[in-house]
Structure 1
Amino acid sequence: MLSRLSLRLRVLLFFALLALGGMLIMNAALVVGFRSALSDGISNGFITAGLLAGFGFLGLVTGIWLLFDENVAKPIQALATTLRARAHAGAGEVDTHGARYLGDLASAAESISSTLDSSRSAMSQKVADETEVIREELAQMSDVLRDLPTGLLVVGDDDRIVLYNSEAAACLSQIAPMRLNAAMSDYFDAETWRVSKARAANGALLSGITLNRQDGAKISNVSVQKRRSETGYLICLEPASAKPKAATVANLTYDFQLLSDRTSDKLHNRRLDQTPFVVFDCETTGLLPHKDEILQLGAVRVFRNQIIYGEEIDQLANPGRPIPAASTRIHHITDAMVTDAPPPKTLVTKFHHFARDSVIVAHNAPFDMAFMHRHGNEMQIDWPHPILDTVLLSAVLFGTSEKHTLDALCERLGVTIPPHRRHTALGDALATAEVLCRMLPMLSARGCHTLSDLLSQTRKHGRLLNDMN
């Protein structure tokens, strides 16, 4: 019956109930106080009446607040969250039943969401048509690069990688994980690279150069080219020890906007669209970081609110001990699967380099980072990276009363985890990364434009992690 009343009338009923209840409580308190005054004296009568009225008002206000919170405040908060998710992540359904006492607000919100979805679909189709043209051009470029035996790099004037193909990735990943926006000093001796770059900047095409790491590892023969009108350098890599290869399409990974980006050196001050994130997850022998061990590590990179597919870690580790059957039932990793795998310290070192100059993100990050810190302390590896936790980001967006499990977040934001990928390190890392990509625009809309803004908001909900761990 109440659901048929207008929202203004329902709010009026709340205040009417407050006024009527207050009058009844006051009258009852006066009657009891009067009787007490006749038998125990006037002062006792006033005290009794005051106490009864005070506690009565307190109970009345508490009861009405509970009704208001359950039927008005919570539905409004849920509706706002859903609208934000629909606007920025294209996910979420308006709970018309939960908002049944909000008049036509829920139906109006659903109407707006449907209209937005229709507009988004039309725009997506138009973008898809334009993208198809670009995709065809990229396919033609890939055909040209198909039989090229060299690796290609484009490096900006700030010495960071803007473009690379699969040949370059195969060559440089022998030294360190390949990463878009990585510094050249991660792969080459800094002084040799500086000299080569200076000579190329003068218009010379340098070829047949052998660049070595400071540790003496020979990488490749390199040609460096730069025209005076160009921004950045074109680099060709030829493996120092040629090996026969199967013909493959040289896939390109690139972001030419990096050539014009002017970013702050400090991650905390960068805009979120200029902040690199590394999202990771670990599968372990158990739930005690101080005594259990890493079995599998999965990690992906996120930049400009997109997952950079191909830049990832997906590797098993040999814990040096039997894997408990209870753990195997969850992640399906057996002793036989890790027999030839490297020790956990190797994965930790690899991940440390993979996450260089990035923000580390995980779901319930204290658990996974506890393993990183434990091995890092043993190997004297520091973890100065800023840490973001998607549990806390969820609390900022959806409130502490909602569920913040990875499954709940995926359902809320329309992220699908294939059943065979759930509870695998890379599968969970990819799901967490997709959740992050959907939450970042929502957080920006709430005024969180930099990493510093995000961290200041998540600190308010730190107790959630304490409860989980």
Structure 2
Amino acid sequence: MLTGLSLRFRIFLLFAGVAAASCAVVGAALYFGYTRITDTTPASGFLLAGILSTFGLLAISVSIWLLFDENVAKPVQRLSAAIRTTAHANVDASIDLEEAKYLGDLAPAAHAVAWRLTNDSADTEELVSDATAQLASEREQLALLLTEIPVAIVLVSPAHKIMLYDGQAADILGQVHVPRLSATIFDYFIEEELRAAYDQLIELRTEIAVDVKGARGNLNFQLRLKKLRGMSGYMILIDDATARIAPEAPRPLIYDFEAAQHHFEKEIEERSLRDLNFVVFDTETTGLMPNKDDIVQIGAVRVVNGRIIPGETVDQLVNPGRPIPAASTGVHRITDDMVADAPDPITAISEFHAFAKDSVIVAHNAPFDMAFLHRYGHLSGHAWDHPILDTVLLSAVVFGADQVHTLDALCTRLGIEIPAALRHTALGDAQATAQALCKLLPLLSSHGFNTFGDVIEQTRKHGRLLKDMN
């Protein structure tokens, strides 16, 4: 019935009701106090009336607050979150008109704005699709052309950060470790030897041929260093016939020229979110007790410059050295036979430590997964002192602490679909968490939280959520 009235008139009725109820409570309290005067003193009667009035007015205030919180504050918070999600995360967020029925025309107006934003975004995507298709076609042709070149190519910034590598270079670098954009090239080749060749290249300004050992010292590589014309940095050509891929095999180009140029003189708290490299990971385990159970799988992806980098992943089964309980297998579908030849937890965690170097660690309910890393890191001598973000807390910052913050609920709000076959696999859940992170980053910026320090300050307000989950 009230929904047919204007919002202003409903607010008037609310305050009129509060005034009437308050007068009724005070009047009733005074009357009751007056009736007690004959049995006690007048002062006692007025004192009793005052006490009853106080409790009555408190009850009215609490009732009004509960009504306002449920019918105004929460709907407004969810409306604002839906509009921000539509505007900044490119998600068609649903608006529950029934939930916001007491907000007058606000919910329908917000729905109209969200609908317009969605349609405008669709129109914009259609306009740029042709250009994107053209760029993709040119990139594919370039990749096919590179396939015919019998060397692997890596472009490196003046700060010795990887800006680009092709599929063949990925195979070669992968003999040392998983290739990573914006990682230092010295993670793959002995620093002293490569720096000496680079200094010679700068001095002679010509192509330099050099033999360099891999960073682990067990492999030798024939490299040619070449200065880049028209741009800073240099090119590394690796002639390694053993790592060549078949001409018909895919040879993707992985690059991000902007991310490799970032300089990190600032403390981590002062750095922009877009300047950070993230490693988003998940684990599957033998159980839910980090102090007693063991890891059976690690999955991780890298997010650089706000996007997931294809191919830069970890998908590693782990042999826990003990039988996997049937109840756990029922969740993640990993059996004892599957991990029989897999590395032990200490080896797997050590490899993952190298993959996560110089990155912010991200996980959903991070304390659980990080407990395993700290435990094995203590045994292997690797300190897990990386900065950490938890998507549970990021979800609370963006959508409010009163929402459900499971991975499934977060993905539903952000329009992310987790294929059933990948749910409760380490890499599948890490991919979903990484997609959520990529959508949460612009939402955090839209709230004015632009630096890592800003975000950490906000997440600390919701730390209780993790205590309740664990």
TM-score interval (norm. to shorter) = over 0.9
Local SS of the residue matching 1:40: coil
2: CA distance between counterparts of 1:205 and 1:320?
54
Local SS of the residue matching 1:118: helix
- Aligned pair count reads 468
Q: Does 2:101 match 1:100?
A: yes
Q: Tell me the residue number matched to 2:396.
A: 395
User: Which deviates the most, 3-12 or 380-389?
Assistant: 3-12
Q: Tell me the residue number matched to 2:90.
A: 90
Instruction: Tell me the percent identity.
Output: 47
Local SS of the residue matching 1:153: strand
User: Which deviates the most, 50-59 or 184-193?
Assistant: 184-193
CA contact (8 A) 1:177 1:350 kept: no
CA contact (8 A) 1:225 1:234 kept: yes
Change in Cα spacing, 1:105 to 1:215, as seen in structure 2 (3 Å) is closer
1:169 Cα offset (Å): 1.3
Change in Cα spacing, 1:166 to 1:265, as seen in structure 2 (3 Å) is farther
Q: Tell me the residue number matched to 1:36.
A: 36
TM value normalised by structure 1: 0.97
Local SS of the residue matching 1:53: helix
CA contact (8 A) 2:89 2:440 kept: yes
* Cα deviation 1:12-53 (Å, max 9, x = unaligned): 122111100010011101101111112211111011100110
2: CA distance between counterparts of 1:385 and 1:12?
54
Local SS of the residue matching 2:19: helix
CA contact (8 A) 2:88 2:442 kept: yes
Local SS of the residue matching 2:153: strand
1: CA distance between counterparts of 2:137 and 2:169?
23
1: CA distance between counterparts of 2:259 and 2:64?
56
2: CA distance between counterparts of 1:234 and 1:18?
75
1:147 Cα offset (Å): 2.2
CA contact (8 A) 2:171 2:243 kept: no
Q: Tell me the residue number matched to 1:23.
A: 23
Q: Tell me the residue number matched to 2:134.
A: 133
1:216 Cα offset (Å): 2.8
User: Which deviates the most, 427-436 or 344-353?
Assistant: 344-353
The runs of 4+ residues in structure 1 deviating greater than 6 Å are none
Q: Tell me the residue number matched to 1:47.
A: 47
1:339 Cα offset (Å): 1.0
Structure 2 counterpart of 1:341, which letter? A
2: CA distance between counterparts of 1:249 and 1:187?
23
Q: Tell me the residue number matched to 2:238.
A: 237
Q: Tell me the residue number matched to 2:112.
A: 111
2: CA distance between counterparts of 1:388 and 1:310?
22
Matches within 5 A, 1:36-185: 36-91=36-91, 92-185=93-186
1:148 Cα offset (Å): 2.1
1:424 Cα offset (Å): 0.3
CA contact (8 A) 1:264 1:270 kept: no
CA contact (8 A) 1:157 1:259 kept: no
Matches within 5 A, 1:413-432: 413-432=414-433
2: CA distance between counterparts of 1:283 and 1:214?
30
Local SS of the residue matching 1:321: coil
CA contact (8 A) 1:413 1:435 kept: yes
CA contact (8 A) 2:297 2:316 kept: yes
Q: Does 2:367 match 1:405?
A: no
Q: Does 2:445 match 1:436?
A: no
1:260 Cα offset (Å): 4.6
Structure 1 counterpart of 2:89, which letter? A
Runs of at least 5 residues in structure 2 that lack an aligned partner in the other structure: none
1: CA distance between counterparts of 2:167 and 2:244?
16
Change in Cα spacing, 1:81 to 1:136, as seen in structure 2 (3 Å) is same
Q: Tell me the residue number matched to 1:303.
A: 304
Change in Cα spacing, 1:306 to 1:103, as seen in structure 2 (3 Å) is same
2: CA distance between counterparts of 1:324 and 1:123?
51
Q: Tell me the residue number matched to 1:372.
A: 373
* Cα deviation 1:226-279 (Å, max 9, x = unaligned): 15753000110122x736753334211001224554444533322111111100
1: CA distance between counterparts of 2:125 and 2:215?
49
Across the aligned residues of Structure 1 and Structure 2, the Cα RMSD in angstroms comes to: 1.5
